[in-house]
Amino acid sequence: MKNISTIFFTSLLSVIFTIITYKLLIENDFLRLENTKVISDSTKNTSRYEAPNLTVAANKTINHVVHVKNVSYKTSSRNSIFDFIYGYEGNRQMQPQIGTGSGVIISEDGYIVTNNHVIQGANQLEITLNDNRSFEATLIGTDPKTDIALLKIDVPEKLSYATFADSDSIEVGEWVLAVGNPYNLTSTVTAGIISAKARNLSEDGIQSFIQTDAAVNPGNSGGALVNTKGELIGINTLISSSTGSYVGYSFAVPSNMAKKIIEDLLEFGNVQQGVLGVQGYELNKQIANAKNIDLTQGFYIEEINANSGAANANIQKGDVITKIDNKPIKNFLELNAAIATKRPNDKVKVTLVRNNNQQDVLVQLSKKEIQNISFNGFELENLTENEKQALRINYGVKIKNISNPNYKPYANELKNAIILSINGQKIENTEMANEVISRINNKSNIRLDLLSRNGERLRIVL
């Protein structure tokens, strides 16, 4: 009996010891492992799936974005030959047409940037702030090629305004906000990411858009594209859509380009565009093999413009440009984007490869000049100094040719005539003519004051 009692108590003590050991050591370790796993999973899920907080950027930007109202007037079509020759107005009634868009306040004293197509052809411009106050706006200047326009309103107090960020430093995949007034809805905010940089959507290769998947709809044009800090990285300008509404792609003019255009308009009244003075094409493997070049990316130079900055810097045919101011260059669009924010006489460092040897050259940019332009079937060119002296004028552009069949009956009389003014604005050269014409609504009349070959003053309305 004593042995049985001894065995029983020994077994009981063993059980108690085992339970205590499990509680103190094994179970606590297991709980610690479980807790560690939960914390790890929680951290992992947060870093992978949680989107950034965009409320600060949104709240900051909505007060910088304005509604732009464009009022223009349209008359009935002209049928009479007398209407064409003399610009007879008759009793036609002017009918108002209203367009809308967005704009961004960029200074405390009321300067506003928007798209050129938002204000094109406007007779009146009205700005409505986010607090619903409205002001009449003055057009300071435009650049149709980049689709940028600058407006000004007079306000009694200082305004909150958007600050420019460096659009060259943005990255694909970076979060952005698009803020505008689509369908006249005040300060609508949409979010997305940067899908691509330096997109070319124009036939002449001038543009270098930021592509984003943030929803942009009619009325967003001229609005702000901002980063997560609420800084301006672009001006929303268009969408790629067959329906006219957003279907997944939208585009913005980079802030660096917009800022340069604005500064030019304020300082010079027009855009000062510097050029390298080279022509060529994108380098690829096939061209590299044919030209015996140890590169597969860059801009291959086929031709050098005479008296250009490139010619003065001894850049040669067959050179391959790989960098501009240390920015990689793979094609013409990137080359153009690197130069687009520069002015004539600015100097840039060009990194090029010649005979498979890399070298740096300093190039002073020359001025881009427009020698010939066309509009509505009229081909215009600058006057020579001899022509100005013979006609005793110091301004105007010559009608070189007329290709529009509607004006063929008057072609002989109008060919070589001199356009002195367009819609009352004096025209000094083709560059100014191009700028004035680009601001005219394609549905509006165009009044031309001419000097004929016989020295007669004429006025026609197109």
Phi, psi (deg, nearest 5) at residue 376: 50, 35
Active-site pick, 221, 250, 308, 444: 221
Q: Which amino acid is at 91?
A: N
Task: Tell me the backbone φ, ψ of residue 331, rounded to 5 degrees.
Answer: -155, 180
To the nearest 10 degrees (0 to 180), the angle between helices 255-268 and 332-340 is: 40
CA dist 329 → 50, 281, 298, 459 (Å):
36, 12, 6, 49
CA angle 99, 105, 109 (to 5 degrees): 120
Among the options 67, 102, 143, 147, which is catalytic? 147
What count of residues does the chain have? 462
Among the listed residues 64, 102, 117, 213, the single catalytic one is: 117
Torsion of CA 286, 291, 294, 298, to 10 degrees: -70
Residue 117 is a catalytic residue: yes
The three-state secondary structure class of 409 is helix
H/E stretch holding 188 reads strand 188-199
Distance of CA 192 to the CA centre of its chain: 18
Cα separation, 432 vs 23, in Å, equals 89
Phi-psi region of 164 (alpha: psi -120 to 50; beta: other; left: phi over 0): beta
Tell me the C-alpha distance between 95 and 109, whole Å: 33
CA distance 59 to 316: 53
* Cα distances (angstroms) measured from residue 376 to each of 62, 370, 380, 442, 453: 40, 18, 11, 10, 21
Instruction: Let me know if 221 is a catalytic residue.
Output: yes
Cβ neighbour number for residue 338 with a 10 Å cutoff: 23
In terms of phi and psi (left: phi > 0; alpha: psi -120 to 50; beta: otherwise), the region of 147 is left
Structure tokens at 329: 């260059």
Structure tokens at 13: 């003590």
Token pair belonging to 185: 């809805």
* Residues labelled as active-site residues: 117, 147, 221
